[in-house]
Chain A
Amino acid sequence: MQVPLSDALPFLAKGAYIAIVLSLLSIFLGFVIGIVVAIAETYGGRVVRYIAMGYENILRGIPLIAIYFILFFSLPLLLHIGMSAFLTAVIGLGIRSSAYQSQIFRSSIQSVDKGQIEAALSLGMSRGETILHIVLPQALRFSIAPWLNEYAVVLKDTSIALVLGIVELTEKATQLVQVTKDPFLWYGIAAVFYLIIVLTVVTIANRISEKYRIKGLGGMIRV
């Protein structure tokens, strides 16, 4: 059976929309937790550091699909709290991304040289003020390139949310394939959608990168 493109494209676009929303919410959640974990790992006391490192290593060591099953099936049994499939998808993808993002931020934070931290302290700034005004503004700039990489991973892994019953781009394409028996065409178009989304985000990030580039310091890092 044939499906005209005029019907199929809006159908796929809805899936792409779900993928975009899911990926943006997840990467944002991962960003917030990732920064906190990175700061805890770098500046925390022993206990805080070990907790943060444990969190990071556990989440990097478990497949996303297992994280989803634990959140969706095991937690309700243990704690009697249930979440919608969409919320589960965001939290699962978000916390896994936070583990990878914390690695990105940790290495950027550590690449801000210690001399600047001493200079800030010598002016009378607190440790918190130093992190906020001196370390993070530079660390975030260093993080843009590896962070884009992580966004691409998160976007592509939104497709795994189909195990929770979320019909996003890949699942929409699968449905079209089942009707038309033409996997090459529909998965191909889905791939193009993913590519367009990633390139859009890369373009935006490069604009941001250029805007906040520190003048005099090498060229801008294009991705």
Chain B
Amino acid sequence: MYEEILKVVDLKKRFGNNEVLKGVSFSIGKGETKVVIGPSGAGKSTMLRCINRLVEPDGGKIYFKGDEITSKNVDIKKIRSRIGFVFQHFNLFKHLTALDNVKIGLKIVKKLSDDEATERAYKALKMVRLEDCASKYPAQLSGGQQQRVAIARALAMDPEIILFDEPTSALDPELVGEVLDVMKELSKKHVTMLVVTHEIGFALGVADEILFFYDGVIWERGKPQEIIYKPKKKETKDFLRRIFELYSRGEEE
């Protein structure tokens, strides 16, 4: 049965004269994975940030499990604690161990006891296969490990949905796989995910739908196979061609 987690209606945002989002609408059901692709500056990250209101939208409405969360009198802290966010640059707390990075939200926001928080944090670290690194600090971890800790930090909060903002773009190529593997597993376990990424393979493998962002709107959308192999619009074709060229350049030479 389809249960709606998130619905975005006519979302608008401008920074000065630059209209970044010109009316974006879509929704995500429980257990779905939707992937957002599109050129830089199309408004993908801004859209994600509007959802948990790290950026305040200028227009449109966002509904989280049926409740509008864009109105001013919503306790956005409560909503944020139920929406996971994974950042491009990991944004781990540098003064805390991997375990404490995962625990801190459980203790301060969810008010769990230290024992409960530790138990849940270990469980989350296990899911990203990093329980051995629990006592390491972020600076002692590789980029891929740091991003997996960041995913564990989001997971431990038991969110209704996790938003991923280009989670592998800041990683060395050989580290991308380990992060994508974790994300694929989550998708298979029907964690609801909205993922901004350029990883076309990931999108093909796990996405229920691809949203192609262009010029502040959803330019084209559809099943992964259709969007990737049979895009209808010129802009989508151009974008995908550039992505494919980038990834296959080495093979052709």
Contacts from A to B (Cβ < 8 Å): 113, 115-116, 118-126, 129, 133-134, 137-138, 141, 214-217
Contact = CB atoms under 8 A, between A and B. Distances in A.
Residue among B80, B82, B83 with max Cβ neighbours from chain A (10 Å) = B80
B157 interface: yes
B112 to A, nearest CB: 13
A20 to B, nearest CB: 31
Contacts of B92: 116, 119
Contacts of A215: 136-137, 139-140
Residue among B77, B78, B84, B136 with max Cβ neighbours from chain A (10 Å) = B77
Given A133-B104, A215-B140, A216-B140, A119 B81 contact: no
Contacts of A138: 94-95
A186 B80 CA distance: 65
Contacts of A134: 93
A123 B109 contact: yes
Contacts of B95: 137-138, 141, 214
B105 interface: yes
Contacts of B105: 123-125
Interface in B62-104: 77-85, 87, 89-95, 104
Contacts of A217: 94, 137, 139
Give me the 5 closest cross-chain CB pairs, A-B, nearest first.
A124-B81, A216-B139, A123-B105, A115-B91, A216-B140
A97 B78 CA distance: 40
B108 interface: yes
Interface in B143-196: 150, 153, 157
B108 A121 contact: no
Residue among A115, A119, A126 with max Cβ neighbours from chain B (10 Å) = A119
B38 interface: no
10 contacts: A119-B91, A119-B92, A119-B153, A122-B52, A124-B81, A124-B82, A124-B157, A129-B108, A216-B139, A217-B139
A113 B88 CA distance: 14
Contact of A123 (B104, B136, B137, B139): B104
Interface in B116-159: 136-140, 150, 153, 157
A126 B139 contact: no
Contacts of B82: 124
A138 B92 CA distance: 13
